[in-house]
Structure 1
Amino acid sequence: MTDLIRVTPSGLSVIYTPHYLAEDMGFFAAQGLKVDSSVYAGPGSSWLSDNLTSGKADVAMGGIWIPLAYREIVAELPIFAMINARNPQIILSREPVENFTWEHLYGKRVVLPMESTSQWMFLRGAMLEVGAGIDRIRFIRDLHVETTTTMWRAGFGDFYLTTPPLSHKLVDEGAFVATTIPECCGPVPWSVYYTTPQFLARPDNAAGRYAAAVEQSLRWVLAQPVEEVAKAVGPRFPDTPPELITRSLRGIIDAGTWQPSVAIPRGSFDRYQGIIAEFGLINEPYAFDMVVAAAPAEYAASVSRGVS
């Protein structure tokens, strides 16, 4: 018998390749799960948690900040597995930049598309951690990515925060990589899975089996030539050239975005909580064990040991 798991995911992106391949290559099926990832997350993925609390979905895939912000005012939504261990964004420039520092942005226009609250919150927090003068930079925010990309191509802005594969496409058009967020801002549990206490407590260990499938997919992706991964995930992106998908995946892998474990790292999680608290979405960081459910990742690790 196969158990149906309804997932509400953030928007289509190559950074979620391990999730897509867990569906397409049978890793979920091997755990006796049928995953339906069609529950729409809304504009800017703003309905992820609402889909859980309303009963439309069993699992959400997105950032840690929404379940933390919801915790004491809307609902408890335990985080139980990680898919992305880095923020994969890239800062582009119009001219080559050597030995990037935040001072390169001083007095400049830095364009940040309106993709998610987390992009600005994390960038701002990481800069404040090292004493960068964010008040010396003109940030242009809250415009849709299609608008900002059109404006960038027309010559607006000095630096542009983008995500692969758009970043690679713009480099092909003449832009330069000033730095990457993994390089200048370090590890962060960027994309995670969270759920309701009821789903977590299911006697069939659905959360553990789900985590195990994702971990097997992560390990498969990391063990293959990037060209094979691109070929496998290519049908998900029919309008993107295979070469662009391959370059995007190579950069994501080289940056350490995917790890062979779905376990949430306590250190980087607590660091990100500090950034979220300083931003004002939560009053103060929570105790790790209060908001992160470790059992599913532990089960996934036991399955991986058995497979290996």
Structure 2
Amino acid sequence: MKKLIISILIIIVISSLLFVGCKPKEETLPKVRVSEVIHSIFYAPQYVALHLGFFKEEGLDVELAVAWGADRGAAALLSNSADIALFGPEAALYIAREQSDTKLIAFAQLTKRDGSFFIAREPMPNFKWEDVKGKVIIGGRPGGVPQMVQEYVLYHNGVIPHIDVEIIQNIDLAATAVAFSNGIGDFIQVFEPGASMLEKQGVGYVVASFGEAGGEIPYTVYHATEKYIKENPEIIQKFTNAIYRAQIWVDNHSAREIAEAIRPSFQETDFELLVSAVERYKNGDTWSKDPLLRPEALDRLQEIAIFNGQLTEKIPYEKVVRTDFANKAIKNIR
């Protein structure tokens, strides 16, 4: 009897060891390196997808990094230091214009208006665009969508850029708000939370919205190289699915609920300021309702680029856009 008990105990121990040894490893999600052009509340649906777990539920481990410029975001893709990058389609258009061997393809649209605001040093409740004549504006990089929209808006409101108004364009994007705070310029174009922070500090006051003045364009869109998309179609689809789920969620929730969801990405921002900034974007109909970049939207952006002298002719839509991932997400997600 004693031998039987010992034998049973040995079998139990051996079985336990075998079970532990055969325990399956925890599944590792594929890492996706995403470059965002700037870090802004303007991209709220992206942070919703991240913090509410939509990326993980789709089977992706998303890692964010800030490029501080569309040119740098495009460079991150071309150098393989990012898999997906969020920036304006202008970078893909410029690369297509040069007939580069490496193509950047836009596959999911996030925002449909300019997300920047025009800040003055003093409150100007009756602001008119002609008020900037003879003044100095801290602008953006030549050829970037923010700067192109700014010059387009100025011109179509009777102000000739660089003639009627001086535009400073040699300050790094990450440092423009600091430069304005230190007394440089009479006006500045800035995104949230920068706009609300300048107001809170008493340094500047929002007098106009470029989103409202510039109309609808595909302002910020997710891109990847043609090679990456070809080799990783499942990742691109899952990523697009997560973004669309976030777009639906944002459309159906209040500014306060959105602010609460994205709070982990803006921990240094006062919560009430975060809410008001989200409300500005939500009320301005800034975010795309779905990830589909439509031909007419890209066409309008190219008209603005031609006006600014960045393009001489339009690039065919099919050369820089793929719609199959967005269309599949829209069809399958409710």
Query: TM-score with structure 1 length normalisation?
Result: 0.87
1:79: which partner in 2?
Answer: 106
Q: Where does residue 297 of structure 1 map in the other structure?
A: 326
Q: Which residue of 1 aligns with 2:33?
A: 6
Equivalent residue in structure 2 for 1:57, among 79, 82, 101? 82
- Return 244-253 or 223-232, whichever deviates more: 223-232
SS for the counterpart of 2:104 is coil
Residues of 1 paired with 2:152 and 2:144: CA distance?
Answer: 12
Alignment check: 8 A CA contact 2:306 2:313 kept: yes
* Structure-2 residue corresponding to 1:141: 169
Q: Matched residue pairs, number? A: 303
Does the 8 Å CA contact 1:44/1:115 hold for their aligned counterparts?
A: no
More deviation, 130-139/103-112 = 130-139
The CA distance in 2 between the partners of 1:190 and 1:60, in whole Å, is 13
Describe the SS at the equivalent of 1:142: coil
65, 71, 82: which is aligned to 1:46?
71
Aligned 8 A contact 1:115 1:144 in 2: no
% identical equivalent positions: 25
| SS of equivalent residue, structure 2 residue 217 | coil
Among 303, 306, 328, the alignment partner of 1:277 is: 306
5 Å matches for 1:118-157? 118-129=145-156, 132-134=159-161, 135-144=163-172, 148-157=176-185
Q: Distance in 2 between matches of 1:236 and 1:178?
A: 27
Instruction: Show the counterpart of 2:206.
Output: 177
Among candidates 103, 106, 109, match of residue 136 of structure 2 = 109
Once superposed, which parts of structure 1, at least 4 consecutive aligned residues long, lie more than 6 Å away? Answer: none
- The correspondence for 1:66, drawn from 75, 91, 100, is 91
**Alpha-carbon separation, structure 1, partners of 2:173 and 2:75:** 24
SS at match of 2:185: coil
Contact 1:48 1:61 in 2 (8 A): yes
For 2:189, the equivalent position in structure 1 comes to 161
Q: Which amino acid is the alignment partner of residue 171 of structure 1?
A: E
Higher Cα Rg, which structure: 2
Instruction: Show the counterpart of 1:242.
Output: 271
- Aligned partners of 2:232, 2:288: CA distance in 1, in Å? 28
Q: Which moved more, 1:201-210 or 1:62-71?
A: 201-210
Residue 194, structure 1, aligned to residue 223, structure 2: yes
Please give the secondary structure, in 1, of the residue aligned with 2:167: strand
Kept in 1, the 8 Å contact 2:255–2:275? The answer is yes
User: How well do the aligned residues superpose, as a CA RMSD in angstroms?
Assistant: 2.5
In 2, distance between residues paired with 1:145 and 1:8? 15
User: C-alpha separation between the residues in 2 aligned to 1:264 and 1:148?
Assistant: 30
Q: Secondary structure at the match of 1:236?
A: helix
Q: Is the 8 A contact 2:35 2:84 kept in 1?
A: yes
Amino acid at match of 1:52: L
In the TM superposition, what whole-angstrom CA distance separates every residue of 1:133-166 from its partner, at most 9, and x where no partner exists? 2221122232246754445345443322121112
Structure 1 unaligned blocks of 5 or more: none
Aligned to 2:16: none
- What is the deviation of 1:4? 3.5
Unmatched segments (≥5 aa) in structure 2: 1-26
